[in-house]
Chain A
Amino acid sequence: MRQFRSMIYPYVVWLAIMVVVPMLLILLYAFTKEGNSVTTFRFTLENFTRFFSDAVFLDVLKRSLIIAIVTTILCVLLGYPIAYAIASGPEKSRMFWILMITMPTWINMLVRTYAWVGILQDDGLLNKLFGLFGLEPVKMMYTTFAVVLGMVYNFIPFMILQIHASLAKMDKSLLEAASDLGANRWQSFLRVTLPLSLPGVLSGITLVFLPAVSSFFIPKLLGGGQYVLIGNVIETQFLTSGDWNFGSAISLIMAIIIMLSMYFTRKVDTDPSANGRSE
């Protein structure tokens, strides 16, 4: 079987060029100054000091993190019961609902986000619905609510699928065992189902938090031109102001924040103290 081994080498070269080099370029640009030509650069931390000393940027960072965290929490709180409802059904209905949840994700995110514009307008579908109940129209477009809604809408399928996968993987006889040992349904859920589905929740959290924190078209479409998150700042640096060094530095900061949060999530997952003889 060695003969097929060599088939990996062209791909290794491709990976080095198309994946590793661009990453290194971001690093290089983030720590240098003086334009886009390779010959005149010098090493500096200026880009980072500029970011951390400007209240405007720090505000944007704070807002991005808060929105991403709120989105993630909402996705867990809504996604868990949905995943649980799917997983507890019979095989056929499980397949059906998984398909129902997966199908929208195959459709362009941008299109699906844009679709909310009409619904959230002042005289849109949602406000008309409120009107039926005699409620005053609420301004929803171009608010934080619209941005968070757009993010939850786009990212919650990842959460549901991850949690469902871990619930479906769970050995059903564990619940029988818990019941056999005297636990009622609620106790079985708290002591067995919930802890065993935690890995799914955690990987769902990474899958939601990561795009939420870096998103830039959702705030633009649903939050309006004035609604700036960290992704929008990066976009501006690259496509409008042309300051690639500063833009690279901001993406690096963002990437590090994401990596740190992933690291902590993983740590909770494998924390041995969660398995200790506590209580």
Chain B
Amino acid sequence: MKKLIQFKNIVKEFDGKLVLKGVNLDIYENEFVTLLGPSGCGKTTLLRILGGFLTQNEGEVLFDGQEISKVPPYKREINTVFQKYALFPNMNVYNNIAFGLKIKKEPKDIIEQKVKRMLKLVNLEDYADRSVTEMSGGQQQRVAIARALVNEPSVLLLDEPLGALDLKLRQEMQHELKKIQKEVGITFIFVTHDQEEALTMSDKIVVMKDGEIQQIGTPTDIYNEPVNEFVANFIGESNIIEGVMLQDKVVMFEGRKFDCVDEGFAENEVVDVVIRPEDLDIVPREAGKLKGVVKSVLFKGVHYETMVETKVGTEITVQMQVSDDRPVHNEAANEKISANDFYLDVEDIEELDEATIIARADAQAWNPEEDELISIKEVQYTIKKENGTYPVTFSTAAGTSVTVNMIVKDENRIISQENEEQIFAVNFFKKVDEIQESIALETDLKTWANASAWSLDGEQAVEITDVKYDFDPEHITPGTYAVTFATKGYEYKIDTTDKHEVGEEVGLTFTPEDIHIMSRAQ
């Protein structure tokens, strides 16, 4: 095959922002090439440079061996199908398709012949006189393709042409486009952010990110042997686990050795292990290479997407002391007020303010007859930055007041070096009715316990995904209860045809061929 287009070290910037960072790419004759990547990756920019609508800041574009950067679009042997088709609304279907031929001043009968042939190719034979504004998205799409192809270009550029269509039509057009490409036998360069589209149609996929090419290959290559985490995640779904290559064909992750088929890594090299969800199987616990608990099951139509946790995250357990204290009743002012004791971390004292104290003590005043909240006007307290018990008094404007204790204790945290994170929470006091009346108990428990999780350096917040308790909130009685907060552990996504129950203990299995090893060095 012959090299038709060569991009050589293309650099493009907009307003000082690098959109293409030196792209090198060869495109051959008769190829269906897809530029794939998330929005802002530079794929459309590259296409527009080839179309002649943008000029690169650096680098060369060769077409058939000729540098074409200075050639205006109307002199290039390249045609484009635009994102929103850009059909001329003042012309009917026939005149849209005939546009390029009329510009070239081809004889009328030749034009008619060529347009007819194109209409047939895109299955719109009866639509010649239709106004393009009255057509559906799919039909407009076909007109746009016909309008470009009728000029017999050597390359057709398609800029996300299927983006505006609904799912069903999109799949239909994917096959249609592939068919047309085979029939006319020219190079198609197709831009999309849809990986499925890319996998279905392409001979060659170019995966791009942040103005750089990540990987070039056939759809199967890219799916089965992604070169890095980005490609693995962008093309299909993946479980990516950190591992160590012990020797050729042996990798260790989750503390166990597994056989694989990859080789050529350094001894003890730290790598990313990729296992596709469809390659994992759920088996009875004893038969599994990995063991875990089903965390969630989502029905996806063809299959169930089952999440299995093989290792829990960082956990912390605190005590919740439940009482059935009654609120203070000020009959003269017809007001009730309530608050509860609460624990504080020494670290929190610096940032303590009245609003926080009111929230942590859950201080509330209300009118019992009308059941209307009354604002708390005054919060009186003294506190030192050391362990101890400090009283705090809340009062309303009418003088109704309640006093509770703030108990300052050393920080209550658990640090996990392995997970590189830390989690905080404190013991707390609650009343029966507060628990019964909570409409979002897990969120409230997090607030009451002041639970939070951070990366080890304290820079990044980590989500607390699990709140575990074993009381019945509807019928809770005074007493002490344990509440456990946990971050996300190791989770595997598995596509299964059987439905598993949440909480089920299962095993996971896979073959050596299902494991793909990616180097961490980019």
Report if A195 contacts B (CB, 8 A).
yes
Evaluate contact between B74 and A179: CB separation under 8 angstroms.
yes
| B contact face: mostly helix, strand, loop, or mixed | mixed
User: Which residues of the other chain, B, contact A274 by a CB distance below 8 angstroms?
Assistant: 90
Bound-complex Cα distance A191 to B96 (A): 11
Which one of A174, A180, A182 lies within 8 Å of B88 (CB-CB)? Answer: A174
Bound-complex Cα distance A176 to B151 (A): 16
Evaluate contact between B83 and A173: CB separation under 8 angstroms.
yes
Report if A91 contacts B (CB, 8 A).
no
Report if B128 contacts A (CB, 8 A).
yes
Evaluate contact between A279 and B102: CB separation under 8 angstroms.
yes
Evaluate contact between A180 and B74: CB separation under 8 angstroms.
yes
Report if B217 contacts A (CB, 8 A).
no
Bound-complex Cα distance A169 to B79 (A): 24
Evaluate contact between B91 and A275: CB separation under 8 angstroms.
yes
Which one of B74, B83, B84 lies within 8 Å of A183 (CB-CB)? Answer: B74
With contacts A181-B100, A277-B94, A277-B95 taken as known, whether A192 is within 8 angstroms of B74 at the C-beta atoms is no
Evaluate contact between A177 and B82: CB separation under 8 angstroms.
yes
User: Which residues of the other chain, B, contact A182 by a CB distance below 8 angstroms?
Assistant: 74-75, 100, 103-104, 151
Q: Closest CB-CB distance, B161 to chain A, in whole Å?
A: 12
Report if B28 contacts A (CB, 8 A).
no
How would residues 137 to 156 of chain B score, 1 for a CB under 8 Å from any chain A CB and 0 otherwise?
00000000001100100000
The residue of chain B having its C-beta at the shortest distance from the C-beta of A278 within the complex is: B95
Evaluate contact between B82 and A183: CB separation under 8 angstroms.
no
Report if A105 contacts B (CB, 8 A).
no
The listed residue with most A CB atoms (<10 A of its CB), out of B90, B92, B104, is B90
Evaluate contact between B84 and A180: CB separation under 8 angstroms.
no
Report if A136 contacts B (CB, 8 A).
no
The residue of chain A having its C-beta at the shortest distance from the C-beta of B111 within the complex is: A279
Report if A44 contacts B (CB, 8 A).
no
How would residues 244 to 279 of chain A score, 1 for a CB under 8 Å from any chain B CB and 0 otherwise?
000000000000000000000000000000111101
Q: Closest CB-CB distance, A271 to chain B, in whole Å?
A: 12
User: Which residues of the other chain, A, contact B163 by a CB distance below 8 angstroms?
Assistant: none
The residue of chain A having its C-beta at the shortest distance from the C-beta of B80 within the complex is: A180
How would residues 162 to 192 of chain A score, 1 for a CB under 8 Å from any chain B CB and 0 otherwise?
0000000001011011111111100100011
Report if A228 contacts B (CB, 8 A).
no
Count contacts on B: residues with CB < 8 A to the other chain: 33
User: Which residues of the other chain, A, contact B95 by a CB distance below 8 angstroms?
Assistant: 275, 277
Report if A196 contacts B (CB, 8 A).
yes
Evaluate contact between B51 and A180: CB separation under 8 angstroms.
yes
With contacts A196-B90, A277-B94 taken as known, whether A191 is within 8 angstroms of B82 at the C-beta atoms is no
User: Which residues of the other chain, B, contact A192 by a CB distance below 8 angstroms?
Assistant: 88, 90
Bound-complex Cα distance A276 to B90 (A): 10
User: Which residues of the other chain, B, contact A196 by a CB distance below 8 angstroms?
Assistant: 88-90
Evaluate contact between B99 and A176: CB separation under 8 angstroms.
no
Q: Which of A91-142 contact B (CB under 8 A)?
A: none
Evaluate contact between A171 and B84: CB separation under 8 angstroms.
yes
Bound-complex Cα distance A183 to B84 (A): 20
With contacts A179-B72, A181-B100, A181-B103 taken as known, whether A275 is within 8 angstroms of B92 at the C-beta atoms is yes
Q: Closest CB-CB distance, B481 to chain A, in whole Å?
A: 49
Bound-complex Cα distance A252 to B72 (A): 56
Evaluate contact between B86 and A173: CB separation under 8 angstroms.
yes
User: Which residues of the other chain, B, contact A178 by a CB distance below 8 angstroms?
Assistant: 88, 99
User: Which residues of the other chain, B, contact A191 by a CB distance below 8 angstroms?
Assistant: 88, 99, 103
Q: Closest CB-CB distance, A108 to chain B, in whole Å?
A: 39
User: Which residues of the other chain, B, contact A171 by a CB distance below 8 angstroms?
Assistant: 84, 86
How would residues 62 to 94 of chain B score, 1 for a CB under 8 Å from any chain A CB and 0 otherwise?
000000000011110011101110111111101
With contacts A275-B92, A279-B102 taken as known, whether A181 is within 8 angstroms of B147 at the C-beta atoms is yes
With contacts A171-B86, A176-B73 taken as known, whether A181 is within 8 angstroms of B99 at the C-beta atoms is yes
Report if B129 contacts A (CB, 8 A).
yes
Q: Closest CB-CB distance, A93 to chain B, in whole Å?
A: 17
Bound-complex Cα distance A274 to B88 (A): 13
Bound-complex Cα distance A179 to B73 (A): 6
User: Which residues of the other chain, A, contact B84 by a CB distance below 8 angstroms?
Assistant: 171, 173
Bound-complex Cα distance A161 to B494 (A): 60
User: Which residues of the other chain, B, contact A279 by a CB distance below 8 angstroms?
Assistant: 102
Q: Closest CB-CB distance, B436 to chain A, in whole Å?
A: 39
User: Which residues of the other chain, B, contact A183 by a CB distance below 8 angstroms?
Assistant: 74, 99-100, 103
Q: Which of A19-43 contact B (CB under 8 A)?
A: none
With contacts A183-B99, A275-B131 taken as known, whether A177 is within 8 angstroms of B74 at the C-beta atoms is no
Bound-complex Cα distance A274 to B100 (A): 19
Q: Closest CB-CB distance, A117 to chain B, in whole Å?
A: 44
How would residues 188 to 222 of chain A score, 1 for a CB under 8 Å from any chain B CB and 0 otherwise?
00011001101000000000000000000000000
Bound-complex Cα distance A279 to B112 (A): 12
Q: Closest CB-CB distance, B97 to chain A, in whole Å?
A: 10
Q: Closest CB-CB distance, A38 to chain B, in whole Å?
A: 52
Report if B14 contacts A (CB, 8 A).
no
Bound-complex Cα distance A107 to B88 (A): 39
Bound-complex Cα distance A279 to B108 (A): 9
The residue of chain A having its C-beta at the shortest distance from the C-beta of B95 within the complex is: A277
Which one of B74, B89, B94 lies within 8 Å of A184 (CB-CB)? Answer: B74
Bound-complex Cα distance A174 to B99 (A): 12
Bound-complex Cα distance A174 to B132 (A): 13
Evaluate contact between B90 and A180: CB separation under 8 angstroms.
no
User: Which residues of the other chain, A, contact B86 by a CB distance below 8 angstroms?
Assistant: 171, 173-174, 176-177
How would residues 109 to 134 of chain B score, 1 for a CB under 8 Å from any chain A CB and 0 otherwise?
00000000000000000001101000
Q: Closest CB-CB distance, A223 to chain B, in whole Å?
A: 40
With contacts A173-B82, A176-B53, A276-B92 taken as known, whether A187 is within 8 angstroms of B131 at the C-beta atoms is no
The residue of chain B having its C-beta at the shortest distance from the C-beta of A195 within the complex is: B90
Bound-complex Cα distance A184 to B78 (A): 15
Evaluate contact between A181 and B151: CB separation under 8 angstroms.
yes
Residues of chain B whose beta carbon lies under 8 Å from any beta carbon of chain A = 51-53, 72-75, 78-80, 82-84, 86-92, 94-95, 99-100, 102-104, 128-129, 131, 147-148, 151
Subset of 6 A-B contacts with CB under 8 Å: A173-B82, A176-B73, A177-B88, A181-B79, A181-B151, A182-B103
- Other 20 A-B pairs with CB < 8 A, given A181-B151, A183-B99, A275-B95: A173-B82, A173-B86, A176-B51, A176-B73, A176-B80, A177-B80, A177-B82, A177-B86, A177-B147, A178-B99, A180-B74, A181-B74, A182-B103, A187-B103, A191-B103, A196-B89, A198-B90, A274-B90, A275-B91, A277-B94
Residues of chain A whose beta carbon lies under 8 Å from any beta carbon of chain B = 171, 173-174, 176-184, 187, 191-192, 195-196, 198, 274-277, 279
Closest 7 CB pairs of A and B: A181-B100, A177-B86, A173-B86, A195-B90, A179-B73, A182-B103, A180-B80
